[in-house]
Chains A and B, each alone.
Chain A
Amino acid sequence: MLLNQFLILGAVLFCIGVYGVIARRNAVLVLMSIELILNSVNINLLAFSLRNGSPDGHTFALYVIAVAAAEVGVGLAMVLLMYRNRRSIALDDLAEMKG
């Protein structure tokens, strides 16, 4: 197997995730796109770990998974708070600080 096929799969998933972050208006869907980005990073970490024969990539992939879980917890709590205060989770409604 080529190293590049895993890296390009990671790149494709990363770009789809970036598109989702830019295009989506619903806060929950933006969080899902961020999960896509984090997974593409994990694929890259594990591919390079296999290529270099070192276990460091596995460790960092586990840390990325843990940080992603924490991020989803706090992110969804914020979305819930936003919904409770404004009855909407559309991100472009949050424009009070716009100059």
Chain B
Amino acid sequence: MLAADLLVAQNVGFYLIAAVMVVGALRVVTSNNVVHAALWLVVVLAGAAAQYVLLAAEFVAITQVMVYIGAVMVLFLFGTMLTRARIGAETDLNNKNWILGVPVAVLMLATMVIALNDGFGNERLPLDAAPVNTRTVSDQIFGDYLLPFWALSFVLLAAVIGAIVLARKD
């Protein structure tokens, strides 16, 4: 195997970002403070955007930063602000039988890792793949996938109207 095939820089970047993402995700589900959980979620989402760049998907990465880190996180912080009486750590954020989640998650992870190793093993990502640029993506959205795009527009419209109807005071 040639040293050039190993892509040392990309691999180091991948494992660094992946470690940060896993730690952040664990803090999201174990933190005792809702605001801290939201801020750890920002770390995970930013790491996901970096992984998209490594996967040569720059338009999706930019969209991730703008929609998730920009809009969704503001919504989460607003939701936290509007629904909380206390500031700081809370003790009753978990269910009484939260421990049941651990074996479920571990078993599911073991099954997935075995299945993925079995199915894809040492398959490498192609180095010479033609990059998918934004023009190709937009040709897809407004060409082959136009009908799902329309459906998505109605989903967003329904979500906007539904959110206003649910949240207004009367």
Partner of A31, one of B60, B76, B78, B132: B76
Once the chains bind, are B98 and A22 in contact (CB under 8 Å)?
yes
Assuming the contacts A3-B123, A46-B55, asked whether A80 and B116 have C-beta atoms less than 8 A apart, the reply is: no
Interface mask (B46-62 → A, CB under 8 Å = 1, otherwise 0): 00100110111101100
B16 within 8 A of A: no
A97 within 8 A of B: no
Nearest neighbor of B77 in chain A, beta-carbon distance: A28
Residues of B within 8 A of A70 (CB): 155-156, 158-159
Once the chains bind, are B152 and A13 in contact (CB under 8 Å)?
no
Once the chains bind, are B126 and A53 in contact (CB under 8 Å)?
yes
Once the chains bind, are A29 and B34 in contact (CB under 8 Å)?
yes
Once the chains bind, are A5 and B93 in contact (CB under 8 Å)?
no
Residues of A within 8 A of B98 (CB): 22-25
How many residue pairs, one in A and one in B, have C-beta atoms under 8 Å apart?
Answer: 256
Residues of B within 8 A of A3 (CB): 120, 123-125
Q: How extensive is the interface on chain A, given as a class?
A: 35 or more
Assuming the contacts A22-B104, A55-B140, asked whether A17 and B25 have C-beta atoms less than 8 A apart, the reply is: yes
Once the chains bind, are A32 and B41 in contact (CB under 8 Å)?
yes
Once the chains bind, are B28 and A36 in contact (CB under 8 Å)?
yes
List chain B positions with a Cβ less than 8 A from chain A.
7, 10-11, 14, 18, 21-22, 25-26, 28-29, 34, 37-38, 41, 44-45, 48, 51-52, 54-57, 59-60, 63-64, 67-68, 71-72, 75-76, 78-80, 82-83, 85, 90, 92-96, 98-102, 104-106, 108-109, 112-113, 116-117, 120-126, 129-130, 132, 136-137, 140-141, 145, 148-149, 152, 155-156, 158-160, 162-164, 166-167, 169
A-B contact pairs, 26 of them (CB 8 A): A1-B10, A2-B122, A4-B122, A19-B29, A20-B101, A23-B99, A23-B102, A29-B29, A32-B28, A33-B28, A35-B72, A43-B55, A46-B60, A51-B126, A55-B136, A58-B136, A59-B140, A59-B145, A63-B145, A73-B163, A76-B78, A77-B162, A77-B166, A80-B79, A81-B166, A87-B85
